[in-house]
Structure 1
Amino acid sequence: METAAGIEARLPIRSDMDLVWVRQHIRQAAAQLGFGLVEQTKLVTAASELARNTLVHGGGGEVHTLPLVSGRARGMRLTFTDQGPGIPDLERALSDGYTSGGGLGMGLGGARRLVHEFAIDSTPGAGTTVTVTSWAARPPLPREEI
């Protein structure tokens, strides 16, 4: 797996204005990587929810955007980190219909459904890291399956 130059970034998430910049950067980067409009919208919607969670529940943090290239496949990995209070009940937070309010109303579970890969690491008192990956068409097959 290689990375595509010029799109990788670390963006702060400390204000509502930062949320706007994060969405714009991700949409532009996804378009550059060849994501179609529907794929861009899914990724930006998931990123918007995760960025808002980082700001509101985590007290701010950052997102690291990493473009991915695997053969002809193009994708993007987003890693949201904060040093907030963490999520005491991950299972509940990931369940359908759970929302703590204030976001898009889709919660972590909704964000997870919009991307190809989703991972979360949260320790109460030590912050949260959410990593998502989306591919422009479909995820590339692992080398063993090709």
Structure 2
Amino acid sequence: MSQSDVARAEWMSRRRANLFFASAFLFIAISWADFPMRGSIDFTIIWVAWAALLLLNLTGVGGWLCPPIARAMAEDESTRAHRARALSIGFFVGMGVALVMSILVRFVDVNAREVAMIVVTAGISSALISFAAQERLAMRDA
């Protein structure tokens, strides 16, 4: 383990936190924007692929282009704890939004695809923001 590996791991962690914040806000913006092609199958496929990619990133898969030692250091015990907490927060936010939507659909005309997009967007975005915030806080305290 060299000094450059440690610096690379810190850079990877900082970059990951920043990218998760940006990804969350961009995902929310795209999900809520009223595009003319929003009802098309192409938009839905792209949105689902993007949501799946964000979920994959939340699980910690990635960083293949970085040295294995730096990647292992960036995935330390505190990062795994932050990830577990973020995923649980995302789950509870998603379930809370689903419960609210189950009541709201009686009063507002929304289709099933829109409800699914709202629930998934809320769950994934809250998990991304939670993870990024925890990582940034840990970096600031270190």
TM-score (norm 2): 0.30
Structure having the higher strand fraction is 1
Larger Cα-atom Rg: 2
User: Which structure would you say has the larger RCO, counting Cα contacts within 8 Å and 6 or more residues apart?
Assistant: 2
TM-score (norm 1): 0.29
Structure having the higher helix fraction is 2
